[in-house]
Amino acid sequence: KRKDNLADVLSPVDGVIMEVNSKVRENPKLANNEPYGDGWLFMVRTPD
């Protein structure tokens, strides 16, 4: 569900977001066109 250009993202793991991909913020189509390349969304640190 989208709200004011924001979208909820469900994650299969618990953790803390450590980095957000600025390339996707500038060009959101990367998330669909290159999800395993430049289209990654964020880096998550998971608990041990």
Identify whether the C-beta of residue 16 lies closer than 8 Å to the C-beta of residue 45.
yes
Statement: residue 26 has pLDDT above 60: yes
Statement: residue 12 has pLDDT above 60: yes
Q: What is the pLDDT of residue 3?
A: 60
Identify whether the C-beta of residue 19 lies closer than 8 Å to the C-beta of residue 11.
no
Rounded to two decimals, what is the model's pTM? Answer: 0.69
Q: Which of 10, 40, 46 is nearest to 23 (CA)?
A: 40
Question: For the chain, how many structural domains are there in total?
Answer: 1
Please give the residue that has the higher pLDDT: either 26 or 4: 26
Segment 12-23 mean pLDDT: 93
The vertex-45 CA angle with 48 and 12, nearest 5°, equals 85
Task: Give the domain extent around 6.
Answer: 2-45
Q: What is the pLDDT of residue 18?
A: 95
**3-class secondary structure, 25:** helix
Mean pLDDT, the chain, as a whole number? 88
